[in-house]
Amino acid sequence: MLFLVRHAESIENATKYTGFYENPRPWTGPAAHALSRDVVGLTPRGFRQCLWLRQALADLTGPDPIVRTSQYRRARDTAELALPDQPYEVTALLNEQHYGAATYMTKHELYAAYPEGAEDRQTRKHLWTPPGDGGESLADGVLRRATAFVDGLHTAPAADVVAVTHHTAILALRAVLERRPVTELVDEAREHKTPNAAVLVYEQADGLFHARDTIHPDC
């Protein structure tokens, strides 16, 4: 079994339009990305969601699941709190989409600073490659990492796997696991975004993964 977990609610999630996104942005692109990756932690609600996850995952997984998490603090904190007795491995394959120089830019500032990418960002978001070092598109960079992660599951030891990751990474992972176009999943996410701390359940059979359930937190 594979359990995809979106990290619990972070400070960034809760204060997206009142805290981290300012115009003009007070940080450079690299500093903004470092802030997002290394500093942003969980809200009090996020801690409660981790307690919910602790019980939910105990009920769902077999003994001693393999735990993987992205490099971002909010994902690592979620894994540590939800699975306190399990060691975990950090992997960049589960990282959130890297927004490069655009990290924490408002749309107004982004389009003013990088007008050449505005059309893709507005109408073909899955193809948009953020400007600056490390910027990756969903349809290329994130999807490539997701494919590598899923490929690795086929050769992993026979045990349940819990992967703690992020919204955009989950879109890419679902595209691979469910064998669906990423554009279809992006369209669905506009209406029904995967909530923080949700658990997506997959079963591996005959070399393929099959979606079995999605469990939402009650807090």
Q: What is the mean pLDDT of residues 184-195?
A: 94
The pLDDT value recorded for residue 61 is 96
Cross-strand partners of 5: 164, 199
Domain of 189, in residue numbers:
2-215
Q: Which residues contact 18 (CB under 8 A, 6 or more apart)?
A: none
pLDDT at 154 over 90: no
Q: What is the mean pLDDT of residues 160-179?
A: 98
Model confidence over 98-121: pLDDT tens digits? 999 999 999 999 999 999 999 999
The total of structural domains in the chain comes to 1
The pLDDT value recorded for residue 207 is 87
Q: What is the mean pLDDT of residues 211-216?
A: 98
CATH no. for residue 191? 3.40.50.1240
pLDDT band at 199 (very low <50, low <70, confident <90, very high): very high
The pLDDT value recorded for residue 18 is 82
The pLDDT value recorded for residue 107 is 93
Taking a C-beta distance cutoff of 8 angstroms, is the pair 133, 101 a contact? yes
Of the candidates 213, 146, 215, the residue with the CA atom closest to the CA atom of residue 179 = 146
The count of other CB atoms within 10 Å of the CB of residue 25 is: 19
Model confidence over 8-66: pLDDT tens digits? 999 999 998 788 898 999 999 999 999 999 999 999 999 999 999 999 999 999 999 99
State what percent of residues in the chain have pLDDT above 70.
100
The pLDDT value recorded for residue 19 is 85
Sign of the Cα pseudo-torsion (188, 189, 195, 201, in order): positive
Q: Which residues contact 162 (CB under 8 A, 6 or more apart)?
A: 3, 5, 57, 61, 65, 66, 67, 68, 79, 83, 86
Rounded to whole angstroms, how far apart are CA atoms 135 and 107?
16
